[in-house]
């Protein structure tokens, strides 16, 4: 919960904007400011104070306990110009909150955390438990000193500017070891503990068995990702309480699923009790991985709990990111976040240049020229299979005439795939032209590089007969100058010569241009590969120089369209 505190009418107005925008995330604290701050500090994970920074600091000072416990605090000035991350930038999430508040209130986020200021991923913000000399190693990264990455297992980390060797070390490990004086330990959630328990098994026995098993195997409990068991034990109090104390979820499987897993130590007891010859080993192994510790029983008499430990390999991560039509303000926040999360970026060289400034230090860039789409897709998937966090970029929406199709054709379920939508060229062009896509519409690429012209022509003819608004991608190039006239001719068989046609080149970019012509008046020679051509349907009209396609066909009968429910 985010506590909101203000002292003046201007602050209250900005406060109320946040409260309205985030009704489920915020709580307004009224009354004397000092009491409001104390209450919010005790009850909320984050605070936004619409106060001067000096006043906020004096109010917070007696309450501060330490960076691991304090909530994140953002301070917004009276004029609403700045959102300052004041306390808990990383641990309390104040840096990200300052950016969110800034975006909502049109204020400038002010983040002074050293790593954030230079674009480095903070070691305590990687989403992994972190221990050791965090400040010293972070300072070494900031100062450009060589910091080595000692990865004992593969995991899709965000970019880090590491070296093969260095006097400082970031160690990725699930082993129960102590960090050295110049070392940070990152704990990946690589361990799955399979658990079996008799009815009523006490939590101390279940948890004691798990902790002793991990200790004897030299494994860290901070790397436990989940407890796994049979679904018949989904509500077993001892297992649930043990998971809660470890801070991990309980994952359950059916007896049939577990019975299909080959295990080294099957037993007749669980077969009779729950219908599978193995619970602990089978549940741990079901998701794949290496069995590190076979089934062990607790030392109690009689033993009421068993467990086994499996190390699952880290799955590589492939984010297929749409960059939008080119304008920076049409690049989505989600796309920006994925670009900054990726340790490997794969893309067309000219697209890489568009967003190179957004990449974090340490990002490895694999770029290539035009015509290498399938090679880029294969490269991205291969890098993900090696365990990296990869971003594969494309213009517009990556799923529309872009990189998602070839990449997903290569990818299998051994990697995680995330699709990040982008604003398409058709949508950007339509916004410039007016509202040409107000009714049913279709996009067709006129490039016959991958699709035979006979197929393209059949699709154009079908769109013409169905009276769909048509957006043509890849309409004309130096080597392909006849397809657009042919396509327009097909549409002209079904539409009037005065049908509006919108032509937008480099939509949303500084050198962009647009014009509205007609089906009879458009000169195809004025169109190139950087252009999107949108042809209206029989109901499309030009109103005040803008293309408008009504949501119904009543304009054709000379009547105004009635409002319809937005869907």
Query: Is pLDDT at 556 greater than 70 in this prediction?
Result: no
| pLDDT over threshold 90, residue 457 | yes
**Does 81 score more than 60 pLDDT?**
yes
Q: What is the mean pLDDT of residues 117-145?
A: 80
Q: What is the pLDDT of residue 240?
A: 96
pLDDT at 279: 93
Per this entry, what is the length of the chain? 567
The average confidence (pLDDT) of the chain is: 90
Burial of 204 (0-12, 13-18, 19+ CB in 10 A): middle
With a cut of 60, say whether residue 562 has pLDDT above it: no
Quick one: which of 216, 240, 213 has its CA closest to 229?
Answer: 240
Q: Residues of the chain with pLDDT > 90: what percent?
A: 61
Higher pLDDT, 567 or 158: 158
| pLDDT value of residue 465 | 96
Q: Could you tell me which residues come within 8 angstroms of residue 260 by beta carbon, excluding any fewer than 6 positions away?
A: none
- Give the DSSP H or E segment for 470: strand 469-473
In the predicted model, is pLDDT for residue 564 greater than 60?
A: no
Distance CA 212, CA 262 (A): 25
| Confidence (pTM) | 0.77
pLDDT tens digits, one per residue of 322-351: 999 989 999 998 999 999 999 999 999 999
Report, as an integer, the average pLDDT of 345-367.
Answer: 93
The answer, yes or no, to whether the previous bond of 302 is cis (omega within 30 of 0) is yes
Q: What is the rounded average pLDDT of the residues 271-296?
A: 92
Q: Over the stretch 472-489, which tens digit does the pLDDT of each residue have?
A: 999 998 888 899 999 999
């Amino acid at each position: 919960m985010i506590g909101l505190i203000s002292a003046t009418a201007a602050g209250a107005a900005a406060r109320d904007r946040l409260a309205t925008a985030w009704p489920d995330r915020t709580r307004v604290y009224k009354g004397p400011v000092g009491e409001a701050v104390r209450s919010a500090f005790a009850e909320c994970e984050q605070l936004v104070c619409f106060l001067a920074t000096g006043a906020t600091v004096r109010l917070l000072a007696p309450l501060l306990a330490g960076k691991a416990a304090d909530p994140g605090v953002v301070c917004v000035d009276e004029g609403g110009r700045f959102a300052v991350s004041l306390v808990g930038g990383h641990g309390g999430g104040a840096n990200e909150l300052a950016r969110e508040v800034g975006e909502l209130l049109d204020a400038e986020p002010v983040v002074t955390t050293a790593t954030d200021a230079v674009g480095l991923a903070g070691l305590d913000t990687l989403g992994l438990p972190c221990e050791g000399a965090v400040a010293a190693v972070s300072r070494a990264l900031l100062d450009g000193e060589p910091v080595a990455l000692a990865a004992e297992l593969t995991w899709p980390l965000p970019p880090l500017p590491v070296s093969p060797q260095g006097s400082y070390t970031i160690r990725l490990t699930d082993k129960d070891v102590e960090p050295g004086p110049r070392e940070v330990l990152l704990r990946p959630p690589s361990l799955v503990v399979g658990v079996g328990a008799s009815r009523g098994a006490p939590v101390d026995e279940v948890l004691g068995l798990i902790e002793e098993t991990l200790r004897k195997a030299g494994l860290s409990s901070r790397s436990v990702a989940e407890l796994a068991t049979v679904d018949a034990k989904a509500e077993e109090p001892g297992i649930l309480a043990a998971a809660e104390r470890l801070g991990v979820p309980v994952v359950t499987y059916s007896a049939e699923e577990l019975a299909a897993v080959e295990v080294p130590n099957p037993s007749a007891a669980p077969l009779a009790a729950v219908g599978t010859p193995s619970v602990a080993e089978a549940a741990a192994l079901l998701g794949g991985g290496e069995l590190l510790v076979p089934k062990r029983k607790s030392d109690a008499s009689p033993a009421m709990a068993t467990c086994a430990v499996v190390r699952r390999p880290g799955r590589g991560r492939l984010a297929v990111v749409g960059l939008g039509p080119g304008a920076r303000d049409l690049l989505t926040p989600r796309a920006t976040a994925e670009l900054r999360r990726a340790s490997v970026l794969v893309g067309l060289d000219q697209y890489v240049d568009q967003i190179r400034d957004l990449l974090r230090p340490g990002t490895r860039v694999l770029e290539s020229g035009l015509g290498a789409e399938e090679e880029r897709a294969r490269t991205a998937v291969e890098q993900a299979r090696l365990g990296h966090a990869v971003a594969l970029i494309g213009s517009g929406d990556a799923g529309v005439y872009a990189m998602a199709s070839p990449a997903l054709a290569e990818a299998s379920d051994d990697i995680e795939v995330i699709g990040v939508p982008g604003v398409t060229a058709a949508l950007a062009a339509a916004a410039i032209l007016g509202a040409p896509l107000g009714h049913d519409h279709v996009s067709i690429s006129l490039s016959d590089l991958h699709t035979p012209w006979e197929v393209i022509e059949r699709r154009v003819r079908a769109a013409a007969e169905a009276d769909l608004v048509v957006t043509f991608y890849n309409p004309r190039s130096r080597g392909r100058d006849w397809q657009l006239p042919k396509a327009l001719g097909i549409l002209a068989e079904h539409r009037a010569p005065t049908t509006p046609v919108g032509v937008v080149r480099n939509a949303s970019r500084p050198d962009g241009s647009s014009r509205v012509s007609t089906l009879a008046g458009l000169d195809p020679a004025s169109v190139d590969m950087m252009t999107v051509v949108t042809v209206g349907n029989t109901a499309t009209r030009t109103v005040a120089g803008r293309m408008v396609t009504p949501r119904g066909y009543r304009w054709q009968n000379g009547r105004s369209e009635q409002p319809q429910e937005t869907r």
